[in-house]
């Protein structure tokens, strides 16, 4: 079709709306039970976490290990606000407050640390996340190590769909903007980017701040669905879990992060009947995947429905012995 709006509706919006309606009907009919809803919630939260970290690590090239800290800020902010104002306005306000505070912390941390390069950034961001966790564990208003509970539950499938799709689209639009192209230039060669006039520090701090904001949003989604939050849930291993999704999907591929979040959640669910060997099988599977596909499932490419007609033309051309356009 030549009309770009019609083509976009058919290739993007129609599948998204169909997915939302089908899942909503299945939930209302009871076919998707409470256990499956937890899996869906985990997938949506991991998608937001993965695409926001991919913006920092995959598209800007900054090896960050502090995403769990931003998630913790968003979770506690949303929990504290909704426990005081248990309504939709308190929920939305808590989400936005958590995202803004996480972005502010990311900005303040990013200014001094993102002048570093390589492994030094990973060490600095890891230290930042541990400081956040320890502070939450010792503040009185966060209830210390006991955490906060019960957190009012406002997240449902509609909110998960809106926040997940909205986060992916906003980050995707940023990547296609001038600032996003500057961030990619920094990833490819920081010295070359500086030589053509790119303010590398500003690009890195901007990407880090935006990634932190959506990390906070994901934390708010988590707190508003799982009732209980504790500082130990946002430790070093949580940052590693998010990084695994990004690396498995492909550094520099948002659709790869989405697919990896689905894949890992499904694998983890299927291995639940084997608690004794679940983590061993999970780790072995990741090792095998990274041996045979070290660049990740999609590398730095994006999955698009527009590739399907092209694939069909190539297959037809191969069958007829001609070269596809």
- Peptide bond connecting 199 to the previous residue in cis, omega within 30 degrees of 0: no
Full-model pTM: 0.88
* pLDDT tens by residue, 255-291: 999 999 998 888 888 877 777 777 787 778 778 877 8
Share of the chain above pLDDT 90, in %: 46
pLDDT digits (tens, 9 = 90+) for 202-243: 888 999 999 999 999 999 999 999 989 999 999 888 998 899
Q: Provide the pLDDT confidence category of residue 186 given band limits of 50, 70 and 90.
A: confident
Determine contact, residues 50/246, Cβ cutoff 8 Å.
Answer: yes
Please state, in angstroms and rounded to a whole number, the distance separating the CA atoms of residues 220 and 235. 16
- Which of 187, 182, 70 shows the shortest CA–CA distance to 118? 187
Distance between CA atoms of residues 184 and 112, nearest Å: 21
What's the pLDDT score for residue 314?
A: 46
| pLDDT at residue 47, as a whole number | 95
- Burial of residue 295, with CB atoms counted within 10 A of its CB: 0-12 exposed, 13-18 middle, 19 or more buried: middle
Q: What pLDDT is recorded for position 9?
A: 53
pLDDT above 70 coverage of the chain, percent = 88
Query: Which range among 5-14, 94-103, 157-166 shows the weakest confidence by mean pLDDT?
Result: 5-14
């Amino acid at each position: 079709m030549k009309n770009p709006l019609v083509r976009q509706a058919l290739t993007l919006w129609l599948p998204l709306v169909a997915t939302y309606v089908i899942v909503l009907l299945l939930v209302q009919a009871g076919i998707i039970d409470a256990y499956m809803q937890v899996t869906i919630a985990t997938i949506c939260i991991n998608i937001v976490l993965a695409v926001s970290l991919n913006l920092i690590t995959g598209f800007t090239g900054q090896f960050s290990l502090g995403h769990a800290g931003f998630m913790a800020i968003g979770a506690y902010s949303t929990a504290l606000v909704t426990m005081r104002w248990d309504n939709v306005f308190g929920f939305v306000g808590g989400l936005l407050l958590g995202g803004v505070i996480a972005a502010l912390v990311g900005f303040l941390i990013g200014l001094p640390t993102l002048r570093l390069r390589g492994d030094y950034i990973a060490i600095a961001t890891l230290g930042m996340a541990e400081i956040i966790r320890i502070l939450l564990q010792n503040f009185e208003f966060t209830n210390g190590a006991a955490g906060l509970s019960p957190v009012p539950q406002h997240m449902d499938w509609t909110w998960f769909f809106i926040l997940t799709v909205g986060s992916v689209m906003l980050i995707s639009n940023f990547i296609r903007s001038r600032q996003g192209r500057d961030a990619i230039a920094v990833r490819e060669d920081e010295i070359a980017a500086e030589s053509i006039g790119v303010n590398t520090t500003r690009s890195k701090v901007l990407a880090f701040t935006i990634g932190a904001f959506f990390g906070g949003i994901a934390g708010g989604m988590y707190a508003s669905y799982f009732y209980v939050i504790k500082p130990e849930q946002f430790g070093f291993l949580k940052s590693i879990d998010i990084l695994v999704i990004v690396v498995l999907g492909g550094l520099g591929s948002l659709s790869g992060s989405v697919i990896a979040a689905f894949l890992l959640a499904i694998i983890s669910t299927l291995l639940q009947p084997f608690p004794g060997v679940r983590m061993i099988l999970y780790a072995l599977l990741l090792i095998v995947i990274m041996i045979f596909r070290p660049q990740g499932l999609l590398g730095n490419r994006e999955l698009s429905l527009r590739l399907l007609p092209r694939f069909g033309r190539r297959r037809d051309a191969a069958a007829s012995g001609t070269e596809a356009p």
